[in-house]
């Protein structure tokens, strides 16, 4: 029998329906793969083998009776940011030690409703703060990819590095992830996988540990565009428990995948041609445009003039919201508690020991920009810039642009423990330079693998769409995926 873990989600779903193999066999194949690989990759922080096998048995009974949901028997990984009832949910942070919620996030509830099952919780940057998955309390995730003729460990990107690494290394059929400034799209680009950040409000945030509430959005990471579309259809939907959830019908995203791009107008923003951009990124970008043009799209140069202010504005807005959201972690009700002389001492000691360095840095930045005397100078000004960024996109879309093509990242994956990144946090933050505008404007964006760099590492392109027009992104991404016609599977070394 073919290694079941190498099947796409769509192929696995078809095989289960045809009874070519059972959900129990598929689940056992993934659990065996996790057992072999996780000690090297560190993608999972909790493995729910018994629950997965019980769910698979129930799925087989449904499938045997000709029943079951659209994801019946499909084994998934869940980012540690999503609340899972009775199961480890710690946002990869020491401060949430031992926390097992009494609730299930809406997104994971939707997936279980449709028949999917959980293999375990996936590693991530602590509280989703990071671009390399090195800030986790559980240690860094290792990218399944390695540069040609090298044994050096590479980062998988962040914050959804565990999700991207697990999908890339065949440790789950697909994974949930979240994106606040690029945390789905950047790891997808670094690992040769597909990741979509939906329109803000498309997927419920209820039951997802908050980082920056006006920016956070859940989405899938998968091996193919079709797989991502299948997962999105189940994950999305209106949720009255989330005040930012939009009451809008969920299309069958998979039905749009083969729609093509004939007649579409694709925008190319000049502002994304950054100084010092590697030639291979520029070449790949042009190649993507050529592929879309060959399939019937029109390419048009556009301007998004406030792009250059997006990254500094983001790193004011996001830490400010994080400072507010993370105030609840004080050792009183749940998680870590460090005993002190009095309650104030307990708060301080708990937060000092419980939060990692990057989280502390962002909380302090956020507290500073919200403080008296600085609020107007920093936070209010950043929100005004955010409005201008959003208006740039609105004007472009109003002028007839259907989607925008840009690079996904400024480079391929870099090394774990990279000294330049460690010494200068701004260099790490620059990994988000092509992705943060999408979050600031609340738009959908998808990263799709499109080529490889000189060392054989995957590179991705990003498509940005109109609000709630993820269907066009799936269609255009599929054209790039088909045109690239490249095997984006890492060579196993683990």
pLDDT, tens digit, for every residue of 162-171?
Answer: 999 999 999 9
- Is 315 among the domain residues? no
Over the Cα atoms of the chain, what is R_g? 21
pLDDT tens for each residue of 56-73? 999 999 999 999 999 999
3-state secondary structure of 58: helix
State how many domains the chain has: 1
Picking from 75, 56, 36, 76, the residue whose alpha carbon sits closest to that of residue 162 is 76
For residue 484, is pLDDT > 80? Answer: yes
Interatomic CA distance for residues 202 and 466, integer angstroms: 13
Specify the DSSP element, H or E, that contains 47: strand 44-47
Over residues 468-475, mean pLDDT = 98
- Looking up residue 248, the CATH number of its domain turns out to be 3.90.1300.10
- Is 62 among the domain residues? yes
- Is 171 among the domain residues? yes
- Is 408 among the domain residues? no
Interatomic CA distance for residues 119 and 173, integer angstroms: 10
Phi, psi of 422 (to 5 degrees): -70, -35
DSSP letter for each residue of 232-282 = HHHH----TT-TT----PPP-GGGGTTS--TT-EEEEEGGGS-TT--HHHH
Query: What does DSSP say about strands 75-79 and 117-122: parallel, antiparallel, or unpaired?
Result: parallel
pLDDT of 2: 64
Contact yes or no for 445/474 (Cβ under 8 A) = no
For residue 1, is pLDDT > 70? Answer: no
Known catalytic residues are 79, 159, 183
Over residues 280-285, mean pLDDT = 96
User: Residue 75: which residues within 8 A CB-CB, separation 6 or more?
Assistant: 26, 27, 30, 52, 56, 116, 117, 118, 119, 172, 173
Over residues 453-468, mean pLDDT = 97
- Is 382 among the domain residues? no
Interatomic CA distance for residues 45 and 121, integer angstroms: 6
430: confidence class by pLDDT, cuts 50, 70, 90: confident
pLDDT tens for each residue of 225-256? 999 999 999 999 999 999 999 999 999 999 99
- Is 72 among the domain residues? yes
- Is 362 among the domain residues? no
Interatomic CA distance for residues 319 and 366, integer angstroms: 4
Per the prediction, the chain carries an average pLDDT of: 96
For residue 45, is pLDDT > 70? Answer: yes
Cα four-point dihedral sign 50, 8, 190, 319: negative
pLDDT of 423: 73
Picking from 200, 180, 85, 207, the residue whose alpha carbon sits closest to that of residue 124 is 180
Strand partners, 122: 44, 79
| More confident position, 425 or 199 | 199
- Is 329 among the domain residues? no
133: confidence class by pLDDT, cuts 50, 70, 90: very high
pTM, whole model, 2 decimals? 0.96
The C-alpha angle with vertex 56 and arms to 52 and 61, in degrees rounded to 5, equals 155
Picking from 212, 155, 193, 181, the residue whose alpha carbon sits closest to that of residue 77 is 193
User: Residue 261: which residues within 8 A CB-CB, separation 6 or more?
Assistant: 292, 295, 296, 297, 475, 476, 479
Picking from 379, 86, 402, the residue whose alpha carbon sits closest to that of residue 265 is 402
Over residues 30-43, mean pLDDT = 98
Q: Which of 13-27, 196-210, 367-381 has the lowest mean pLDDT?
A: 367-381
For residue 292, is pLDDT > 60? Answer: yes
Cβ burial, residue 51 (10 Å; 0-12/13-18/19+)? middle
Structural domain harbouring 128? 4-258
């Amino acid at each position: 029998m073919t290694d079941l873990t190498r099947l796409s989600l769509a192929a696995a779903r078809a095989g289960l329906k045809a009874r070519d193999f059972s959900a129990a066999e598929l689940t056992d194949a993934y659990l065996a793969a996790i057992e072999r690989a996780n000690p090297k990759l560190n993608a999972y922080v909790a493995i729910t083998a018994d629950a997965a096998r019980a769910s698979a048995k129930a799925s087989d009974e449904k499938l045997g009776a000709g029943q079951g949901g659209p994801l019946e028997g499909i084994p998934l990984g869940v980012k540690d940011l999503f609340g899972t009832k009775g199961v480890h949910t710690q946002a990869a942070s020491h401060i949430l030690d031992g926390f097992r919620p009494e609730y299930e996030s809406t997104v994971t509830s939707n997936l279980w409703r449709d028949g999917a099952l959980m293999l375990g919780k996936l590693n991530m940057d602590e509280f989703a703060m990071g671009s390399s998955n090195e800030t986790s309390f559980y240690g860094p995730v290792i990218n399944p990819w390695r540069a040609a003729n090298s044994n050096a460990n590479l980062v998988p990107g962040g914050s959804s590095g565990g999700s991207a690494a697990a999908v890339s290394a065949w440790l789950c059929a697909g994974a949930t992830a979240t994106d606040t400034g690029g945390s789905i799209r950047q790891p997808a680009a670094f690992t040769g996988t597909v990741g979509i950040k939906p329109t803000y409000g498309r997927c419920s945030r209820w039951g997802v540990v908050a980082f920056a509430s006006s920016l956070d959005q859940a989405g899938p990471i998968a091996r193919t565009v079709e797989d991502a579309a299948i997962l999105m259809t189940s994950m999305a939907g209106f949720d009255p428990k989330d005040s930012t959830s939009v009451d809008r019908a969920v299309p069958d995203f998979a039905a749009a995948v083969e729609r093509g791009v004939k007649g579409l107008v694709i925008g190319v923003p000049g502002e994304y041609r950054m100084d010092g951009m590697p030639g291979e990124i520029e070449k790949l970008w042009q190649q993507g445009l050529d592929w879309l043009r060959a399939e019937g799209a029109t390419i048009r140069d556009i301007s998004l003039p406030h792009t250059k202010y997006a990254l500094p504005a983001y790193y004011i807005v996001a830490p400010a919201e994080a400072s507010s959201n993370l105030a609840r972690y004080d050792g009183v009700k749940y998680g870590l508690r460090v005993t002190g002389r009095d309650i104030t001492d307990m708060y301080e000691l708990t937060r000092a020991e419980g939060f990692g360095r990057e989280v502390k840095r962002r909380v302090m930045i956020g507290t500073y920009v919200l403080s008296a005397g600085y609020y107007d100078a920093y936070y209010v000004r950043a929100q005004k810039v955010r409005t201008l960024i959003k208006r740039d996109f609105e004007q472009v879309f109003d002028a007839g642009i259907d989607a925008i093509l840009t690079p996904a990242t400024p480079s391929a994956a870099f090394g774990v423990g990279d000294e330049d990144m460690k010494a200068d946090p701004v260099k790490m933050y620059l990994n988000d330079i092509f992705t943060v505008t999408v979050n600031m404007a609340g738009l959908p964006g998808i990263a799709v693998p499109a080529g490889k760099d000189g060392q054989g590492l995957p590179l991705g392109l990003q498509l940005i769409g109109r609000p709630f027009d993820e269907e066009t992104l799936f269609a255009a991404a599929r054209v790039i995926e088909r045109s690239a016609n490249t095997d984006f599977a890492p060579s196993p070394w683990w």
